[in-house]
Amino acid sequence: MKACTLVPGDLATAGVEEIGEPPEADGEVLVEGLFVGVCGTDVEIAKDGYGQPPPGHKRLVLFHESLGRVLEAPADSGLATGDLVAGVVRRPDPQPCGACAQDQWDFCRNGEFTERGIKAQDGYGSERWRVAPKFAIKLDAGLGPLGVLLEPTSVVAKAWDQTDAIAKRAFWAPEHVLVTGAGPIGMLAALLARQRGLAVTVLDRVTDGAKPAMVRELGATYVTSLDDLPAPPDVVIEATGVGPIVFDVIGRCAPNAIVCLTGISPGTHAIELKADAINKMIVLENEVVFGSVNAGLRNYQQAAAALALADKAWLAQLITRRVPLAEWPRALDRQPDDIKVVVDLQA
């Protein structure tokens, strides 16, 4: 079967490779791959050598954002032939650490976790793949190709889930949410915030293209400068990974705000930080700033429910480019109007 493979850090090696059928050791559920989504992590793997192939392999089957159709599943798995599924990215470390022992692999403490398509495990960028039933998340059939958005939505669902957990510390009646960055993570964070009935502002630097209109269609406000915020936010979901924005935002929040950082960037921005002033502000305002990576099983379920509820026409606008399997390396080249680029594994 055909697969999207490369040697991490060597973009020139990216191509379609004929590989064997998916190993049974990957799990009892056999899936026909439909689409994979491309994110910054894939670009980092290809260009900067982030991630690693499975032990003993030179090449990695890329992609961790998946969508497929079940070809075979055990009778007691809750899955049937034809079901739409997406695969979970992370696997617990084999030791396992305390968190992984409780299936909280997204909180792995020793760093020995593995990730499909990223770290020491082949990904979902192949015509067929296998997973254990536990790692196959069933999607609403009505989502069709939009189901490929499940994994980025799971990352956002975790951000909200963690925000809720932190919010239990005291009286909490949030009204205003700020989302920084109108890429897929920012857009999906704004969607989940609107599903909660909150007033949402999305910040991004672009003034044209699909993003401003999509934000408005959600019933949210679009701004290109933090000076234009309608109100100090109670919750911030930061999805740019740009350091100066992170620190600027910390200084503009409402008392008791919760700031969730989901993005990272290869940038090397150097800014002068008024460290004492930032410390004072965080202390005197009970502010919480926390990081969030990956997602646990319940976050995948929350994400599947959120996508099932969402307006499909709005979600469809997030997928701005489809690249056929044969030309998949083109999907790694960022175009100015890209939001989510997907590879069509059937084309």
- Binding flag, residue 155, ligand BGC (CB under 6 A): yes
Q: Out of 114, 294, 299, 302, name the contact with ligand BGC by CB under 6 A.
A: 294
Q: How far, rounded to the nearest angstrom, does the alpha carbon of residue 16 sit from its chain's CA centroid?
A: 24
H or E element, residue 164: helix 150-167
**Which of the 8 DSSP states describes residue 52?**
B
Q: Is the dihedral of CA 210, 213, 216, 218 positive or negative?
A: negative
Please identify, using beta-carbon distances, which residue of 174 and 296 lies nearer to ligand BGC.
296
- Binding flag, residue 89, ligand BGC (CB under 6 A): yes
Cα 94 from Cα 105, distance rounded (Å): 11
Please identify, using beta-carbon distances, which residue of 68 and 296 lies nearer to ligand BGC.
296
Q: DSSP 3-state helix, strand, coil percentages of the chain (rounded to 5)?
A: 35, 25, 40
Cα 319 from Cα 115, distance rounded (Å): 24
Please identify, using beta-carbon distances, which residue of 89 and 179 lies nearer to ligand BGC.
89
Q: Out of 26, 83, 93, 115, name the contact with ligand BGC by CB under 6 A.
A: 115
- Binding flag, residue 118, ligand BGC (CB under 6 A): yes
Shortest Cβ 152–ligand BGC spacing (Å): 7
Cα dist. 299→97, 255, 259 in Å?
Answer: 20, 27, 19
- Binding flag, residue 262, ligand BGC (CB under 6 A): no
Amino acid at 225: S
* Residue 21 in tokens: 């059928």
Shortest Cβ 25–ligand BGC spacing (Å): 21
- 3-state secondary structure at position 261: strand
Shortest Cβ 343–ligand BGC spacing (Å): 15
Please identify, using beta-carbon distances, which residue of 155 and 237 lies nearer to ligand BGC.
155
Hey, which residues between 25 and 64 contact ligand BGC (CB under 6 A)? 39, 41, 64
Q: Out of 1, 254, 288, 293, name the contact with ligand BGC by CB under 6 A.
A: 293
Provide the binding-site residues for ligand BGC, judged by CB under 6 A.
Answer: 39, 41, 64, 89-90, 115, 118, 151, 155, 293-294
